[in-house]
Amino acid sequence: MMSCTNPGYTSFFLISLLVYLANAGNFNQDVDITWGNGRGNIANNGQLLTLSMDKSSGSGFQSKNQYLYGRFDVQLKLVQGNSAGTVTTFYLSSQGSTHDEIDFEFLGNLSGDPYTLHTNVYAQGKGDREMQFKLWFDPTKDFHTYSVVWNPSRVILYADGTPLREFKNKESIGVPFLKSQQMRVYGSLWDAEDWATRGGQVKTDWSQAPFTASYRNFNADGCTSSDVNTCSKANSTWMYEQLDSTAQQRMQWAQKNYMIYNYCTDVRRFPQGLPPECNSN
């Protein structure tokens, strides 16, 4: 089992994270910049990828490979200063109306105000599973690591080795799970001033453009076979990863102190009853 511990001493999870990052890939080999007309760039012999946005366009990339289960890490430094209206992303997604998706979306803010980390999980086209956080560090001052672990039993989202949320396979009670669609890994920087900052009340200050976000140490360790049975039998660490009691406590710490929205407690949004996975956790 992976564990996650309090800051100040090294955990097995953090050692594993360092191993993953030491084996990080090369952006030139692993991704394609798919939009932005030159606003996305790969530098440092494939070790750094930057996305920029101005009033004309943002930019984005996607992985060359598609995956069915795996572990996906990236280090990301967000737009500094007045980033209101901007959204920087790192996510996995399939295509189509019944797509699967796992989201990290970083919603910009006015200078001095913290980012909002917006997370969501879609399974077979069904989303509405938002959890939002204010992070315990400044994600603009340095690179921080964001990770997704996806296996047949669960999806776990981490920030710097701390688990933020876990979406378990609850098919036994009728909740769809992400188990049959290959997904690519994506990153993007785009303008969402109509909703991103304080519900759209604060608009993008284009005098601050271009806005830039930086990615490094991208690692995608997953099953690239399109055969579900093959990927379900993958013998990798991430296939068996789950949260032990220490990691559960760390996740509870993050949610108690830094979570600002949880769909599982929004009874006004779900007057007919909370989603079934909320009641079963």
Which run of H or E residues covers position 138? none
Residue written as token pair 């009670």: 173
Q: How far is 214 from 204, CA to CA, in rounded Å? A: 19
Rounded distance between C-alpha atoms, residue 185 and residue 244, angstroms: 27
Peptide bond into 210 cis (omega under 30): yes
Q: Annotated active-site positions, please?
A: 101, 105
Closest C-alpha among 119, 146, 148 to residue 132: 119
In sign, the C-alpha dihedral spanning 202, 203, 204, 206 is negative
What values do phi and psi take at 86, rounded to 5?
-90, 150
Q: Write down the H helix ranges in the chain.
A: 12-22, 27-30, 228-232, 245-258, 276-280
Q: Give Rg (Cα) of the chain.
A: 18
